């Protein structure tokens, strides 16, 4: 099964190696890995997606926690969450062939971010399937894809800050925790936003 781990790690040299090395040792291929700044100055946030058994998921999380530079690890199994990926796609296009691509981009709610005589660049944000849908449609059309750059998945749980560890470190949970029924409502609302 696919696991999505969200980890807060110290923002210092070598931490990425330690995290990556743990997966390497278990012979688990990382599908995607994104790292960037988090809401806290000294911490980076990682989203790691990998394919492993359900039992391995527990062990990976427990092993990640054993790394001194890892502050918090969340295994977003089926929990309500929002996942996004960013893709930049460069397509060969001349002034004669552009308009067909413009239409596709419109349908997929992507954007053209660069345009030259021979090519154009599409920026698209969305869930993995949507990005793959655009790539497939481009491939099936007469357009020739020159380059694809994908960020890998970024995932965030819905609702208030769920990290007990970070709250213990003084993280702002945002609004005071919502009562269960309100939380359910909020989740539905954001589900509606995502499905748009």
DSSP class of residue 69 equals T
d(CA 38, CA 170): 14
Residues that bind other proteins (CB under 8 A): 13-14, 17-18, 21, 25, 55, 58-59, 61-63, 65-68, 72, 164-165
Question: Residue 36 Cβ, how far from other proteins at the closest point, in Å?
Answer: 23
Question: Residue 63 Cβ, how far from other proteins at the closest point, in Å?
Answer: 5
**Between residues 60 and 105, which has the closer beta carbon with respect to other proteins?**
60
Nearest to 15 by CA among 71, 61, 59: 71
List of residues 6+ apart from 144 with CB closer than 8 A: 91, 92
**Between residues 65 and 108, which has the closer beta carbon with respect to other proteins?**
65
Question: Residue 50 Cβ, how far from other proteins at the closest point, in Å?
Answer: 16
Tokens 């530079």 — which residue? 69
**Between residues 4 and 143, which has the closer beta carbon with respect to other proteins?**
4
Structure tokens at 189: 């609302």
**Between residues 75 and 123, which has the closer beta carbon with respect to other proteins?**
75
């Amino acid at each position: 099964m696919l696991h999505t781990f969200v980890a807060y790690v110290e923002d210092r040299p070598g931490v990425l190696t330690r995290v990556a090395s743990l997966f390497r040792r278990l012979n688990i291929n990382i599908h995607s890995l994104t790292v960037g700044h988090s809401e806290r100055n000294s911490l980076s946030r990682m989203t790691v997606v990998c394919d492993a058994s359900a039992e391995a998921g527990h062990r990976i999380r427990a092993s990640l926690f054993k790394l001194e530079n890892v502050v918090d690890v969340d295994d977003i199994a089926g929990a309500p969450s929002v996942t996004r990926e960013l893709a930049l796609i460069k397509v060969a296009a001349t002034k004669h062939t552009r308009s067909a691509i413009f239409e596709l981009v419109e349908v997929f709610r992507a954007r053209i971010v660069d345009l030259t005589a021979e090519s154009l660049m599409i920026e698209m944000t969305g869930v993995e399937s949507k990005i793959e849908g655009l790539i497939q449609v481009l491939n099936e059309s007469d357009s020739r894809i020159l380059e694809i750059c994908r960020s890998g998945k970024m995932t965030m749980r819905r609702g208030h800050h769920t990290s007990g560890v970070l709250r213990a470190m003084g993280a702002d949970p945002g609004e005071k925790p919502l009562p269960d029924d309100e939380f359910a409502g909020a989740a539905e609302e954001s589900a509606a936003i995502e499905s748009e």
